[in-house]
Structure 1
Amino acid sequence: MRNSLRGGAVTGATAGLLVAVAGAAAALPIPAVPGAPPTFIGNPAVAQPVTDVPSVPQHPYLAPNGKSGIHDDGWMSNTSTVPGPLGHDIRTVSAVIGGECGSLTFDRAGRIVTTCIGPSPALYLLDPVTLNVLGRTALPGDPGAFLKPGAFGNFTGGAYFYLDNQDRAVIASRDGHVRIFAENGGDGFTLVHDYDLSGVLRPGETFNSALPDSKGLLWFVTRTDGVVGTLDLNTGAAQVIRLGEGAEGEIENSFAVGNDGDVYIATNRELLRFDAGPGGEPAVTWRVTYANSGLRKPGQVDDGTGTTPTILSGGYVAITDNADPMNVVVYRTAPEATQRQVCAVPVFGAGASDTENSLISAGNALIVENNYGYSGPEAALLGKTTTPGFARIDIDPDGNGCHQVWADTTESAPTVVPKLSLATGLIYTYTKGVEVNDPWYLTALDFRTGATVWKQLAGTGPGFNNNYAGIAIGPDGTAYLGVLPGLIAMRDS
């Protein structure tokens, strides 16, 4: 990911926006900055489905693929089998909710289940058409946290969560508890399980993410000290190990879970495969140190990888490193592999390359986005934006190397988690214009060529900054995206 509140100190404009959110009694349209930027650029697309890639296996303990979390599935593939918008007279609905709704999931009825993180973090049930609030449950938070330096780099408090195979929201909270919420017919949610893990965490260790492995054992990570832990949901037994101390070996992102109990976690120094030990304890199967310039580049939260690991079919896992220029790096997942690294392909050029978002994976293909230059909302104000760049990297057919298929050097996507619709063949991203009123666009790229197909204006001004939230393609093909004060929905007419 990246998600939720992220980056540096809060600007006056952003602080005012968030304070307005905190006091809002009901969802309202997000205010736009006056101006007249182009509303639509390009031409509507004709769907060109991507059919020559294996399907991502359905995780037995997650909601259906595309509906379970910010990265869509256990592999963190960022792909959807649902057709997204094609660019036919796209209509936008926006709503001030109560904070940035960065991770979006969908229940069996097609309703949105999301956490919105801000001054008063909460779990929400939303109408997928109107974005009206159907239910709300408060989550533990720190009301003043968003005014502190580094607030926009804080993923804690439930920014990462997942929807399980029973339509329950599983949230690792700021207070050291893992809570499971079921939907009800009243105010939206009922707390059905509460696991207090504060006894196994040290002061300052706060959950970043939690996910089940393919056998149902819950894994969790914290940023500080690089804590990796397991929780038996039947007994409540928790066990942890620490990969670092303080910021050395910290874990900034979520993680990927494979088909055989395998778990892939990246620190700011290493990528590791874990498997549960005989007693359910976290055990390191293999670990590799990736290339690192030692720099915290503009647009990075720390001096390490910005990606949640992404699994590919054929026995591979991929991240970006922190070299200069940054590389897309692919590794073999098998425990007995004699040569762990498959390739490291540089992207975007020296002095202008980093990403803080997960890769897209489809078959042997990876899509990477450049976020160089984003230090917080102020980096996208008054016409400013980030260094452009997207690239597609494919693993060679023989599995012994990789190559660049295409590179885009025109589209600037400051922070979004992009998504690929296999049904349309379009990569959906969120780009920023350079006009002074700060236009933001839902942008469609051709998966096969990287060409920009169309761009639809979402809105203008800081209220439409997604600040590391991820695009979600809903069951009806709507493209949803969290923004600083809430959520937007964009759909073909």
Structure 2
Amino acid sequence: MSHSPGSRRTARRQAAGALLAAFLLGFATPASAVSPAPAGSAASFGPTPPHNPYAGPDGTATMHGDTGSSDTTPLAGPGAGTLKSSRTALASACPTVLAGFDGYPVALCTPIFGQVPTVHLLDPGDGSSLASLQLTKGSLLGGVYAYIDHLDRLVVADGSRSLLRVGHHRDAAGDWRLTVDRRLSLASVIPEGDAVTGLAPDWSGRVWFATGGGIVGTADDATGTVRALSLPAGERVANSISTAPEGTAVTTTHATYLLTADGTGAPRTVWRKEYDRGSARKPGLLSWGSGSTPTFFGPGTGTEYVTIVDNADTAANLKVYRTGDGSDVCSVPVLRAADGPASENSPVGAGRSVFVAGTYGYPYPAVPEGAGPAVPASAGFTGGLSRVDVRPGGTGCDLVWDNTVRSAAVPKLSTADGLLHTVVRDPLIPGTEGTSLLDPYRYAQIDPDSGQVVRSVRTGVGSLYDSLQMAGTITRDGAYLQGTVTGVLRITAQ
């Protein structure tokens, strides 16, 4: 997941605690690696979903890397040398950090105070903000998901229920500025009080969107055509959506769908698969149901399968479906070593392999309206990371490894360097599951063959550095950019 901060009171308390923690610890940020870089690449993975011609570069176009939400990247992360961490302080939670073909990172952030979604254009050299643009305020999750299109514009829905394409340009003086280059109202199909949660382009250039209230639609901002379909009453969409040549995958609080559009652009359901949503929301989840953005993956075309994690009471199960008809491939319990039966994060998928990071007990400062109470009300952050492989021919799945790594971000798998990249939240007291305002954070590279951390570096101590289960992005120069509750971290090797 990947989410904006909550109420103003909660945000102020979080910020005050973070400042106190940073003051007490002297803003200590060691820059040396804990262990040396791995001698060679881990496993070879692929293929990944095909490139969407209406999206930016694979790996940096969406929060989850590509429109199939594989959470993979063809770019290598920080390589040999001493790892160094720096931070761009924006006084904002920055869940979305993307980059277009020109290499300029674009961050979608929500300020701690005011909570008005703001777009920042970042300097690719040092991560500083070159320009910013405020958007219309909407729901908690309305300032989270966006993507970069094929013309390097940020595509996002704002609080006015409008679809925007935000471009970055140099003015006559050579300074950068951000502008809304195109706008299309979606208010004809989205009622007041509802808001777009996720959006992605399809292979015809239409923008698919889903709202928290369970409306799925398409928008063509070249013609002004908007079409929509209401999902069954009571089903909410709390995460983003994914697109592949076969269709658009949407997971609600009750079921996963594959949809396509007819000749007029109107959505239609190809298949629907219910999953076990459990008896209540768990601590460390932001909705009562799956926390997954559905992931396309597969060993042939990169999209034969769709996968999510369910919300069953006593376990978290990885569900794998065949994209063509929604039939079951497998259901495998994951995150057992950490004893944390929940994941708010999109699974990572490449070839026949899927990786799941646990979020059970993660202390989000707020949850979206209507999420319902957690049962139990709170729990220790257990973490956990699992790898599951689909058997050749899709005859079932096997748990390859399962560990207790406490990932505090959505991991990214680099098919270039063969490593998983994430941020780890270590407990203040080693060996415990508790969390505190003084927890240390570190960027980590993980061997996908074994699940072991092979290299890491401290990014900071205290809540200023909380990555809040948001997704990182690797840029083409090998920097790892990670949003936090107060800005953006930049990890490089020197």
TM-score w.r.t. the length of structure 1 is 0.87
Equivalent residue number for residue 148 of structure 1: none
Q: Secondary structure of the equivalent of 2:410?
A: coil
Alignment match, 2:491: 490
Aligned amino acid, residue 124 of structure 1: H
Mapped to 1, the partners of 2:267 and 2:109 lie a distance apart of: 30
Contact 1:46–1:424 under 8 Å retained in 2: no
Determine if contact 1:82/1:422 at 8 Å carries over to the other structure: yes
In the alignment, what sits opposite 1:361? 349
- Once the two structures are TM-superposed, the CA of residue 185 in structure 1 deviates from its matched residue by 0.5
Tell me how far apart the structure 1 counterparts of residues 393 and 225 of structure 2 sit (CA, whole Å). 44
Matched, 1:413 2:402: no
The CA deviation at 1:69 is: 1.3
Structure 1 partner of 2:418: 425
1:352 to 340, 357, 360: 340
Deviation at 1:4, TM superposition (A): 2.8
Equivalent of 1:401, from 393, 396, 402? 396
Matched, 1:216 2:209: no
C-alpha separation in 2, matches of 1:398 and 1:40: 41
Letter paired with 1:63: G
Distance 1:55 1:371, change over 3 A: closer
Which amino acid is 1:467 matched to?
A: L
Q: Residue 249 in 1 paired to residue 209 in 2?
A: no
Cα gap change, 1:87 to 1:124, in 2 (>3 Å):
same
Q: Distance in 2 between matches of 1:463 and 1:37?
A: 12
Asked if the contact 1:6/1:467 (under 8 Å) is kept, the reply is no
- Structure 2 counterparts to residues 337-348 of structure 1, below 5 A: 340-348=327-335
Q: Are 1:107 and 2:100 counterparts?
A: yes
Structure 2 counterpart of 1:264: 249
Aligned pairs for 1:134-149 within 5 A: 134-141=130-137
**Other-structure match for 1:57:** 50
Write the distance in 1 (CA, Å) between the matches of 2:128 and 2:308: 37
1:332 aligns with 2:332: no
- Report the CA distance shift for 1:244/1:375 in structure 2 as closer, same or farther (over 3 A): farther
Distance in 2 of aligned mates of 1:179 and 1:73? 19
Q: Which position in structure 1 is the counterpart of 2:466?
A: 465
* Among 144, 147, 152, the residue aligned to 1:162: 147
Q: How far 1:385 moved relative to its partner?
A: 6.2
- The two structures, once aligned, show a CA RMSD in angstroms of 2.5
Q: Is the 8 A contact 2:163 2:184 kept in 1?
A: yes
Distance 2:8 2:292 in 1: 19
- Give the distance between the partners of 1:488 and 1:428, measured in 2 at CA: 13
Alignment of 1:71-150 (within 5 A): 71-86=64-79, 88-118=81-111, 119-141=115-137
Aligned-pair CA distance for 1:40: 4.0
Displacement of 1:377: 4.4
In structure 2, the gaps of 5 or more residues are 368-378, 429-435
Query: For 1:369 and 1:104, how far apart are their aligned partners in 2?
Result: 20
User: For the residues of structure 2 that align with 1:227 and 1:363, how far apart are their CA atoms?
Assistant: 31
**Deviation by residue 1:373-406 (Cα, 9 ceiling, x = unmatched):** 0131499xxxx96103101000011211000111
Give unpaired runs (5+ residues) of structure 1.
21-29, 146-153
Distance 2:199 2:317 in 1: 27
What TM-score, normalized to structure 2? 0.87
- In the TM superposition, residue 107 of structure 1 has moved relative to its aligned partner by 2.6
- 357-366 vs 424-433, which moves further: 424-433
How much does 1:438 deviate?
1.4
Task: Tell me the alpha carbon deviations over residues 328-378 of structure 1, each in whole angstroms, 9 at most, x when there is no partner.
Answer: 11000114x6xx011000012396210111111110100000111013149
Question: How many residues of Structure 1 are paired with residues of Structure 2 in the alignment?
Answer: 459
Q: CA deviation at 1:171?
A: 0.9
SS of equivalent to 2:10: coil
3-state DSSP of counterpart to 1:466: coil
Q: In 2 relative to 1, CA 253–167 (structure 1 residues): closer, same or farther, beyond 3 Å?
A: same
How far is the alpha carbon of 1:278 from its aligned partner?
A: 2.7
